Structure formats: C-alpha cells, structure tokens
Structure 1
C-alpha cells in the first residue's frame, strides 16, 4: 500500500489516547485466513463500508468486509461525533454555476436525508449513541460573520425547508453559549453522538443481517478477473463480482491505481476534558448541550457531552510524527484556553488525531470507478462523515444493486473525482491552503 503520509499517521500512535475507546468495548473478529468468494467485497470497515454492507446484506447479497485493523479504528471511531449537514464544501452559488439550481437543491436535500438515515438506523437497530443536541449552532467569530449568518436564514429555508434561529450577541449567555462571539445561528437538523458506539452498533447490525466482517485483514492487491475482482490479503483472498473501496482518508495510492492523486487526507485533532463540575460550568457560562462550530474556514468544533466533559477539536498539523503530533495537540489546547479562559486549569487527559478526506472538487463521490466495471468507490466527506459517510455507503449499495432511485442521488455526488495538482506531491498544497484560510479568518 502506498500512502502520502509517513507510517506514523497510519499507526496506533495518533489514536492511542482516544476517549471513545474507553466508552465502548471492542468487539473481536477473526482475520481472513483462507480463500473466500462473495457477491460484493468491501475494503474498509468504517461508516461507509458498514452502511453499504448492511444495506446489501438486507437485500440478500453475500457481502464480506475487509478491515485492516478493527471496526472503529479509523476516522469513524475517532471523530468529533457531529451528525450534521455537510459532506461537500461548495457554496450554493458554486453549486448553481456547476450543476444548476435543481441539482444544488437535490444535494442539499441529500444532506438532510443523510442525517435522517443515521437517525433511522440507530432507532431500527437499537444502537445507543449518547445522543444529544437539538441541531447544530454556528457561532460568528467576527462581527461581519453575523451578517453572513443572517443571509443564511432564507437559504436554509430554500435548501432544507427548515426554519433557522438567529441568536444575537446579547442573547448568547442566556443560551449557555457565553464567549467571545458576535452571535450565532441554530439549524434544527442533526445531533451529536458517540461515534465509537455508533460504528460498533452499525457493524453489529450488518453482521446480524448476514454480512461477514474480518479484522486485521489488509487488502494488499486487487486483480481483475473474468468474473469480477480478486482481493489478495496476507493470509487469504476474496473473489467477488463487485468491489467497493470505502477507505476515505486512509486510502492508498495504488488500491486501485485510479485513486492516486484524487483524494487529500488532512489531519484533525481533538481533546476531551475530565468531567466538569457545576461550579466550573457556571464560571464559564457554557451549559448548552448544542454541538457548535465557529465561522472560520479552519473551524473549531466543540460540544459539552452528557457526562459534562467538553470535546474540542480543530484542524491538525501538516506534518506527522511524535513531535508533530505533540505540537498539534498543544495548538488545540492553546485555542481551547482562549475560547474558555475559565477552564485553563481544567485537565484534558484525552487527545488524539485522525484523517478527514478532501477532494479537488470539494464534493464527495459515490460511483463506479471509471474504466473498472464492477469496482465502486465512496469517499471525500470533508470532515462530515458521520452522516454523509453513512448515506454514501447506502448509495453505493443501491448503485451496486441497480436501484439508484431508492435514495436521493444528486449529480454532484455522482461526478468522478479529478486529480489534484502535483499528484503524489499534493501535500505540498496544504501549507498554502492553510495560509490562505488563516488570513481569511482574521
């Protein structure tokens, strides 16, 4: 496998202190140790792969999932737990220019359908996810950003059919959102969850439906056969008529070769405090249960969880390795203290990082890999994989089944990925992008 970061980024080290691991017991599954055949093989046991496996198995398809480590090891088990609107980064204006207004509305409604799918799956399969938050709230970090939030109210109505609520600066404290912000906007869509519990429950549901999931089974090579594809692993192989690549930010450049240069992994880092006391919560004036993010391009995301721990995350560093990881976490802690000066004394015993996945088009992709009939891919959710990853997994399943009318499937998601400039050296673009975003955030 050929990765664009060094091996540290794909080791256990960046997630070694992940809080979610202490909240949900790991489920042991065997590694593949023989040759197997199936209808659909899926590489990747995160939200996308497991959602696809569940929907395929429910349709009576024999499906095998090959996970290189274990369910929940990657971004699906170490993210911030925001089940919210998102998945792409194009504005309404950009979507209209590229695809037209109808297609833009179709994509926006798919964002809402993605949230509803997670809601449905957790209820249908009795997955306990520590759910909280009534939608999501964006906070304006500059006065001019509040003007932009006001303009979004009619856009949210048009795109999602929802009534958004503006929170003026003077009202923030009454909402339990006291801080150095200029107001906010609450969209009544989405909820917060424990991602490790959700991905574990999703795997259990897929297994109950008939899908077989293998742990510690890294796909080493993919070979086209007369009847489909053969995936070679260390101790066995899988022959399948159809193949789904569902590795997102942990993808490789050569599985398949088409992936090279078409996705950009970017690090995101998170810290979690110890449980806060009533006095500490009162001192900060932050008692809201909302999942919140700020209006920066390089945004911060944070939420007070049901056990009164505060989760705080932001984009991570541009380098990997022990010292780079320590530096990235120190930056998160620095911003945490700036946002919540009353909690400067509060310990943050848990910290970790993981990979989100970006595309050149700033949109996700689900579909058949060009010039590879029977091979499908789903990836690039731009940091919003809880909902969109789950949804795209379902779209991939329905596409494989030839049932593309089962869920809203806008053309913005069907459009194949193009290569980044610089190809295998595209990581060199990130410092320039982060510099531009940083200047724009001032």
Structure 2
C-alpha cells in the first residue's frame, strides 16, 4: 500500500497517482498587484477566483503547497446537497426567513460543478447519481423525512427505494432502504481542482504555489505578504479552511480541524459485478458515517470515521478495512493499494462560517463535512459580494458562531465524547 507522499508533495492517495498534468507554478517573488488576491488553492479559493476572473477581475491565488493539496484533493469525491445541518435544523434555530434564504442556495453547488466540468472540459471522471443509505428502522424514517424536507424546498429528483432495490444498486444487504438523488454524483476530486486551476489560468489568473501567506496587512489596498514577496489588492479572500493555521487567530478560535480516512482497493475488474453496478456513490445515515464509490478503473474507494483534532492515524487501513468488510464481506482478502487521511474544518454549529475580517477582506470556512458542493456555491457568493451584490453573502454572514466549549484545551475531548454518544445511539437502534 502506498503510504509515502506522492510526486508533487500530495498525500499518498489514488487521486495524486492519477491526477491531471499540471504546469509549474513558481513561488511568489517580489511585488505585484491584482484586483483580488485569494489565499488557498482549494475549492473555495479556486471557485471564488474563477468567478471573479470570468467577471474580468485580475486575480492572484497564493497556495502554501500545491493546487488541491488539502481537503479538496483528498475527499470522497461525492457531490452532496445542502449543509451539514439540514434545512429543518436551520429553520428551527434561525427562523423561516434564514431557512428560505439558505434553502434557495442549498442545491446550487452541484449544478455549478457540473456546469464547470462542461464549460471547461474538465476530465474529472464525473458520474451521476448519489445514494443515502439507512441501516436501522429509525434511519428509514430519517430518509422519509429527508425526502419530504428537500421536496418542500423545491428539490424533487429523489426516489426512496426499499431493501431489495437498495441491494440491487449497492451490492450489499446491509441497508433497509436508500434514498436515490439522481441530480448529484461523484468526481475525482483532485482532477476537479486541477481542472479549475487550469480554467482560471486560461482566463489570465495567476497561481503561485509554495507561497504560504505570512501576514495580511489591512488597508485599501490590502497587502498580502509571503516569505518571497507581496501582493497589493483591492480585495482579499481567505480560503485556507482546515489548513489556514495561525494566520488569522480569530478564525481558528471558532473552528476545529478534524481528520477523516480513506482507502482505495486494487482494481476489482469483473470479479464483483454486484458491487455498485449503477456506479452511484453511497453514504450511510450514521452520525460517524461511511461513504464509498467506484473509481474510473473500478477500485472501491471507501472512507469513514473522524479523528477529532486532525491527528494523522498511523494505520489508515486498519481503521477502514473493518468498515468496508462489514458492508462488503465478499471483499475479504482484497488488496488495499492506497490509504490516506485529510482534514476538514468543523464549526460548533456544523454550519459554514462566512464573513469579513475588514471591509475588503472576506473569508469562508468550516464546511463541516459538506465541502465539495458548498465551496463551489460560496465561491460564487463571495464573488457576488466583491462585485457589490451582498444579499446572498449576508444570509450566511448573519449566522451566529461561537467558540467550542472549554476552549482549545477541551474542544477535542468534549467533541469526541459527544460523537461517541451519537455513535452508540446509532448502534443500539439498529
């Protein structure tokens, strides 16, 4: 199994081994100017930069590592609508007006991704269709509620399937029911990020890799500093998410990096035709959920679990293989070729945190596990705000966010304790 870093410094993932060819992107040296500088070449940064470049803005992106190096190039690759806290929770906590505003945007991110793929010819192995899977009777009720909720907000491309049909589309008898959403799908996530970077550069945008930001100097224009240079810009977008580090301490206080683990098997060929014959991606309904799909060369990509505090586990395969075999016992003895981990950023509310650090400095962070689609949505919303259309931005910026109880010292054990309770509840109610 590949465990050492891949060429280009990426995590030892299947994605890094099968990414798109990329041009050299030298580190920033000296001083330059732009209309907007974006910190981070993950989905949030690339989506924002691409929307701004399409509107005629001169954009510079500063990336500490490589395009898609963080969560954008390591995730499960599944396009999942809405937010980590769904629209009913948003309505109960924040009112009908907020739920309507966020609900009007809840299904937009996947559409943006599919439009980008088509417009720029991004070869990221997109396949349509996604499934939510219920293990327990209680979770079947959750799927019924989920379907009714999304239909109330205008999303009707959903079908609830019984146990027999669920087995037919997944290849496992584990699920009592599934909810099929034909409007979503799955992608090779690193190739998506790399393709978006190439699209940005085709429009005149500039990306500097190996260019970690050391300081943001407030002002109009703002000045963003790296070890080798600086960029003066009218606008700044902070899009480092779980890999922002200590650049802006006030953002770190309201969020917590978390690690998730993924493995990819050897190519299955035609040996197991029953496994995902429709090539849909799947995620279950557990609090600590499992998710899986097939790659373009028919490997099973399987992820799950959470490491609170973003510690890299020493043995990814030992964590994930038992989960895989519980779902697909017929794969006992299958070889695992890749295992990797990556960080996502959690907020206390499980809702994304969006706002301004200064009148011309914007940020978005804390997708809390729903980042693939949300980052593409918020890139459009941030670009709208920079262009003077802030109504949709304000709907997210108005959401309240608070530090984790106990501060940095206790946020990891308290969050892990809460997760353990929900995990136990899932197991007891099957």
Q: Distance in 2 between matches of 1:214 and 1:252?
A: 19
Question: Deviation per CA, 1:267-304, whole angstroms, max 9, x where unpaired?
Answer: 1110011110322334xx54231110111010000012
1:289 and 2:283 correspond? no
Residues 252, 260 of structure 1: 8 Å contact kept: yes
Following superposition of structure 1 onto structure 2, how do residues 52-131 of structure 1 map, counting pairs within 5 Å? 52-86=48-82, 88-131=83-126
3-state SS of paired residue (1:281) = coil
Q: Distance in 1 between matches of 2:32 and 2:249?
A: 24
Q: Distance in 2 between matches of 1:274 and 1:181?
A: 25
Question: Deviation per CA, 1:22-54, whole angstroms, max 9, x where unpaired?
Answer: 212343200001112222111101111111111
Residues 167, 175 of structure 2: 8 Å contact kept: no
Query: Measured at CA, do residues 118 and 204 of structure 1 come closer, stay the same or move farther in structure 2, by a change above 3 Å?
Result: same
Q: What's the CA shift for 1:390?
A: 1.3
Match of 1:359 in 2: 347
Following superposition of structure 1 onto structure 2, how do residues 15-54 of structure 1 map, counting pairs within 5 Å? 16-24=11-19, 25-54=21-50
Match of 2:385 in 1: 399
Which 5+ residue runs of structure 1 have no aligned equivalent? 1-9
Residues 48, 246 of structure 1: 8 Å contact kept: yes
Q: What's the CA shift for 1:340?
A: 1.0
Farther-moved stretch of structure 1 (292-301 vs 423-432): 423-432
Match of 1:307 in 2: 297
1:418 and 2:410 correspond? no
Match of 1:241 in 2: 234
Which 5+ residue runs of structure 2 have no aligned equivalent? none
TM-score (norm 1): 0.89
Q: Distance in 2 between matches of 1:179 and 1:71?
A: 39
Identify the match of residue 361 of structure 2 among 363, 366, 375: 375
Question: Deviation per CA, 1:111-150, whole angstroms, max 9, x where unpaired?
Answer: 211111111111111111111132x211111122112222
Identify the match of residue 206 of structure 2 among 212, 218, 227: 212
Following superposition of structure 1 onto structure 2, how do residues 191-202 of structure 1 map, counting pairs within 5 Å? 191-202=185-196
Residues 260, 424 of structure 1: 8 Å contact kept: no
3-state SS of paired residue (1:311) = strand
Q: Distance in 2 between matches of 1:11 and 1:105?
A: 44
Identify the match of residue 179 of structure 2 among 185, 199, 203: 185
Query: Measured at CA, do residues 329 and 174 of structure 1 come closer, stay the same or move farther in structure 2, by a change above 3 Å?
Result: closer
1:138 and 2:138 correspond? no
Q: Distance in 1 between matches of 2:250 and 2:26?
A: 30
1:173 and 2:173 correspond? no
CA RMSD of aligned residues (A): 2.3
Q: Distance in 1 between matches of 2:227 and 2:196?
A: 26
Q: What's the CA shift for 1:243?
A: 1.2
TM-score (norm 2): 0.91
Question: Deviation per CA, 1:207-230, whole angstroms, max 9, x where unpaired?
Answer: 1112111000000122224x2322
Query: Measured at CA, do residues 12 and 396 of structure 1 come closer, stay the same or move farther in structure 2, by a change above 3 Å?
Result: farther
Query: Measured at CA, do residues 280 and 409 of structure 1 come closer, stay the same or move farther in structure 2, by a change above 3 Å?
Result: same
